[in-house]
Amino acid sequence: VFLSSKVLESASSATQTAPVFIISGLAIADATEEVSLTSLAQSPVFDGASLFCSTEGKRGKALWVEASQQLRLVMCDAAKMWRGEQYAFSFDVSNPAAPQASPQISIEMQGGTAWQPAAFAKTGTSSDPLFICEAPQCSLGTYATGCVECAVCPSKSCPPGEILVLEGCSASSGGSCISCDSFANAIWSGTSCVCAPGFYGDGTTCFECPDGQTSLQGSTSSSDCALTVQQARA
């Protein structure tokens, strides 16, 4: 179940390539390649199942791609979705036999006017529908847990010579350990990754001092480049 795009006036298949909605993050066991969609239309929600067709043109069908774990919904010829309206459908999912954490499910549109991936939100009980939400802009060291809240990344330690990068952390990952050598003009000081002499950093990048100036190892500001090359040697 999803809301139509709030940005588009309409999404229409009246283009050379029919728009395709892609639902990612599903984990389905024993899925058939062709998935049947069931209408959940009930005022003021519109029928979403009849908007999508199989490659043979049969309405109410979607394509399951096992390799990428994606459900692809191709809009039928002349089908149209209007801005601000709700369209609903359902399909059966057979969960894998082994226990699994709740996956991060998202939807995007390809073809026509691009629609970047948007997260699904779920509230209430297992019978409640999924809705598209805008994930919050979380600060460094936190990650989105839904449509509103952010959580602190799990703690993680890195071996000597590597630093912790928090971008892209999640509930199962406290970030990535990256070698100090992979950063341009940075060196390992024995306890941390710092900028080499002649450079200064902002915590992510090392910048070269102006011509005729240099800096000591570990400099963090352009003002640290006040030394001339001769003074540094002295």
Q: What is the pLDDT of residues 82-141, one digit of tens each?
A: 877 888 888 887 766 666 666 677 888 887 666 667 767 665 665 565 665 666 788 888
User: CB–CB of 193/187 below 8 Å?
Assistant: yes
Q: Which residue has the higher pLDDT, 79 or 97?
A: 79
Q: Which residues contact 234 (CB under 8 A, 6 or more apart)?
A: none
pLDDT at 30: 61
Rounded distance between C-alpha atoms, residue 150 and residue 158, angstroms: 24
The residues with which 151 forms a beta bridge, in sequence order, are 143
Q: Can you read off the two tokens belonging to residue 11?
A: 């999404």
| pLDDT tens for each residue of 211-224 | 888 999 999 999 99
Task: List, as one string, the DSSP characters of 69-88.
Answer: TEEEEEEPTT-EEETT-EEE
Which DSSP letter does residue 50 get?
A: G
H-only helix segments in 6-93: none
Rounded distance between C-alpha atoms, residue 83 and residue 172, angstroms: 36
User: CB–CB of 2/105 below 8 Å?
Assistant: no
Output the average pLDDT for the chain: 78
Average pLDDT over residues 68-91: 84
| pLDDT tens for each residue of 197-211 | 999 998 888 999 998
- Checking if the pLDDT of 44 tops 80, the result is no
Q: What is the pTM of this model?
A: 0.48
